[in-house]
Structure 1
Amino acid sequence: MVIDNNKDGKKLRSGYTTGTCAAAAAQAALKQLLELRKQKIHNLTPIIFPIHVVAVDLPQGGTVSIPIKSITVKGDIVTAEVIKDAGDDPDITNGTSICASVEILEANSLEILEHNNEIILLGGKGVGRVTKPGLSVPVGEPAINPVPRRMIIHEVKKLLPRGKGVKVTIAIPEGERLAKKTLNPRLGIVGGISILGTTGIVRPMSEEAYVDSLIPQIDQAAALGHSLIVLTPGGMGEKKAVELGMPREAVVQTSNFIGTMLKESAKRGIKGILLFGHIGKIIKVAGGIFHTHSKIADGRREILAAHAAMMGASPALIKEIMELNTIDASIELIKSHGLHEVYNTIARWASKRSLELLGEELKIGTVMYSLDGEIIGYDEEAVTLGRELGWQV
């Protein structure tokens, strides 16, 4: 599938979510199993009439054709394998095998004693298991999100004979290894990756998909009873916040999407937010820049120069600030001119801008640190929130 996104004048291909791939594998495995049962063929390898492609219904309408890499038979269980194609999106699961094993349950099976046509969906090797509350999947269940779960069940129901049930086990052989590159471990998803996707399609370079992977951190913090949270752009901030005594479960990574994560926190009823990050990110917020990737906007030197000027910096110092190679290089320069208070002022403005963005009644404080981890600026609300979060200021 080709979509309109362009990069360097080149059209980018969209791909398919892990949910779509799992649904395709489940459909192919059941279709093959029913065909073999119809022909009264058991444990036949290779299969005489293998299924090479299936059509999967998308949640928002339409269908996609998904290739099937392989189908294997072991006794009364058929396993189909799909290779995840993320198109031109830099998805870590691209090229990964996603498998579904299907076993028919007869009407008299104890596992479907309550009613016929039951579908039992399980997570196999490489599919994570949820161990903490606050996610869209209950604790103890395989990390197969609601939309992919519905897709898998829908594809199976289309084929399931009347009076029979089916057990479907989704597996991702490389899932446990891949999970180490995701947020799953800190979200309490153990043993593998999640089966994701709300549309069935992966959009190339999709920021929306990345943000969707960050938001569950807020839900989990709230579910664990945290009405005060820490928003930090990355791993360094999380580590620093925990070192200072703040609970890890209350620390939420935002990447560059500080504005979006502020809004999502407010939507979920969070009462207080401590913005905690490197000066290079937080200073942008003080200037009203809430997407902090350099491709969107910079302005770090300009913001620092403006605040320094308000505190009486000379034209010569402002010129030096504007010529700095990095914002960290400003720290010694500012100190040497006795203007260190400027960083506290910038922290106050970051909180002020954040409150203006939300227009809501909640508390926001800001803390900034340098590349070596030294805290260089914070506002009064940060001290109050920090203490409530366990920071011994």
Structure 2
Amino acid sequence: MEAAIEQESKTLRRGWTTGTCAAAASKAACLALLSGRFPSMVEVTLPGGQRPAFALAMEEMGEGYATAGIVKDAGDDPDVTHGALIMSRVQRGVPGSGIVFKAGLGVGTVTRPGLPLPPGEPAINPVPRKMIAQAIAEVAGSEYDFEVEISVADGEKIAEKTLNGRLGIMGGISILGTTGIVIPFSCAAWIHSIWRGIDVARAAGLIHIAGSTGSTSETAVELHHGLPEIALIDMGDFVGGMLKYLRDHPIPKVTIAGGVAKMTKLAQGMLDVHSKRGLADLDALARLAAEAGAGPDLVQRIAAANTVMEAFGIAHEDGLALGDRIAALAWQTAAKVLSDPLIALEILVFDREGRLIGRTEFTPSSHSGSLPGSDVI
């Protein structure tokens, strides 16, 4: 993410989603199955009407089937699937069956409810399915009964770097994409993964989830509450993106957990807590310390600290519960977004070692409700 923000002022090359690559490979394989020859290049139509062309990286023809492969180019995005070989094996299907999708090696299978596809289905999302169907229709016309098996070389290994396991997608990666285009360093993919995590938790009947800004706070909140993995949402810097989705898709108990710097930013009203979106204000932190009872010398030392972490260390050495103050104000920021008395909200603040240094109690997140921890305000 740091690299992403540093690249914002540069012109970055866009790439293609796994769904686009699967559609192109399927079209080439279907054409080969029907004509006996693979094309040198294959074009597909994206949801926005664009028609990129792709060269085939592999081709194979056998008795009653054809397989084509395309190497995914994610452009300048640090996508874990960049360079992956996306393959489609096409064969004729049962008359009247339409297009039947199957998960080959390296493509996951849905095992939990709450996702756009029901359990048991290959993890080929709805938009890529439409793109594949359209691509096949361009070469097959009204002949529309095919079995399409999508596979990804080393897909199961690649999936270990994704959230698929947590979402209940087992055996490989998902074939994704809503526009067909990968926009470098886009926030959309991460935010959509947050939403899908919430959907899965709701479908499983969970009444408590925890969104964390990083791995340390996630491990800490998991241990603190004894939560199952399915209840843990990797929200990263996108606190607002998680809260806004929960506002429309509520869960009774929500914990927001994070380190001191990001929770301080949330306390200061920032819903995107990435370091490049605005720095935590140490002068404001010093003023909060003064309101919490810090003397002039301590206030001055906090304001002069190099980092928020150092400021918290200074406060801790002096016996000041600055973490509780930050947690209470962070709760106020988050509660304004949720604004739902049926959602009880809790804030937990952890240090770098995962020690709890600030918290609020679960409190209904009505905008007009009382602020938790008001005794420290």
Same fold (TM over 0.5): yes
- Out of 201, 205, 208, the position equivalent to 2:188 is 208
Query: Which amino acid in 1 is paired with 2:18?
Result: T
Report what 1:16 is aligned to. 16
Report the equivalent of 1:343: 323
The separation in 2 between residues aligned to 1:88 and 1:276, in whole angstroms, is 31
1:132 Cα deviation after fit? 1.4
Please tell me whether the aligned partners of residues 285 and 353 of structure 1 are also in contact (alpha carbons under 8 angstroms): yes
C-alpha deviations, 1:365-390, integer Å up to 9, x for none? Answer: 21111111111111132799xxxxxx
Match of 2:34 in 1: 34
Tell me the residue number matched to 2:50: 62
Q: Is the 8 A contact 1:89 1:202 kept in 2?
A: yes
Deviations, residues 164-199 of structure 1 (Å, cap 9, x unaligned): 621111000121111111111111111111000000
Name the counterpart of 2:354.
Answer: 373
| C-alpha distance in structure 2 between counterparts of 1:254 and 1:51, whole Å | 43
Which of 193, 204, 210 aligns to 1:224? It is 204
Look up the equivalent residue of 2:145 and give its one-letter code.
G
Q: What are the superposed Cα offsets for residues 257-283 of structure 1, whole Å, 9 maximum, x if unpaired? A: 111111111111223321122222212
Deviation at 1:242, TM superposition (A): 2.2
- Deviation per CA, 1:73-125: give whole Å up to 9, x if none: 122211101110111111111111000011123xxxxx44xx26x21111100
Cα distance in 1 for partners of 2:50, 2:309 equals 51
Contact 1:348/1:365, CA 8 A, preserved across alignment: no
AA aligned opposite 1:255: G
Map 1:64-213; keep pairs closer than 5 Å: 64-105=52-93, 111-112=94-95, 115=96, 118-160=98-140, 162=142, 165-213=145-193
Q: What is aligned with 1:44?
A: none
Distance 2:134 2:258 in 1: 44
Distance 1:78 1:234, change over 3 A: same
Provide the C-alpha distance between the structure 2 equivalents of 1:355 and 1:6, rounded to a whole number of angstroms: 31
**In 2, distance between residues paired with 1:127 and 1:303?**
49
Residues 198-221 of structure 1 deviation map (CA, whole Å, 9 limit, x = unaligned) = 001111111122222232111111
Match of 2:277 among 283, 287, 296: 296
Closer, same or farther: CA 8–284 of 1 in aligned 2, 3 Å = closer
CA RMSD of aligned residues (A): 2.2
Deviates more, 1:156-165 or 1:8-17: 156-165
Partner-residue secondary structure (3-state), 1:364: strand
Q: Kindly provide the amino acid, as one letter, of the partner of residue 138 in structure 2.
A: K
Opposite residue 338 of structure 1, the aligned amino acid is G
Specify the code of the residue in structure 1 equivalent to 2:112. K
In the alignment, the residues of structure 1 paired with residue 293 and residue 267 of structure 2 have an alpha-carbon distance, to the nearest angstrom, of 19
2: CA distance, partners of 1:204 / 1:242 = 32
SS at match of 2:92: strand
Instruction: Select the structure of larger CA radius of gyration.
Output: 1
Contact 2:265/2:279 (<8 A) preserved: yes
Q: Deviations over 1:287-315 (max 9, x none)?
A: 10111111111125234312101123233
**What amino acid does structure 2 have at the position aligned with 1:80?**
A
- Determine the C-alpha separation between the residues in 1 that align with 2:78 and 2:27: 27
Measured in 2, the distance between the counterparts of 1:227 and 1:300 equals 35
User: Contact 2:247/2:339 (CA < 8 Å) preserved in 1?
Assistant: no
Q: Secondary structure at the match of 1:159?
A: helix
Q: Tell me the CA shift for residue 338 of structure 1.
A: 2.8
Alpha-carbon contact 1:238-1:248 (below 8 Å) kept: no
Number of residue equivalences: 359
The 8 Å contact of residues 156 and 172 in structure 2, kept in 1 or not, is answered as yes
Decide which moves more: 158-167 or 180-189.
Answer: 158-167
Rounded Cα–Cα distance in structure 1 between residues aligned with 2:283 and 2:207: 35
* Structure 2: gaps spanning 5 or more residues: 366-377
- The secondary structure found in structure 2 opposite 1:152 is helix
Separation in structure 2 between the aligned mates of residue 288 and residue 163 of structure 1, nearest angstrom: 57
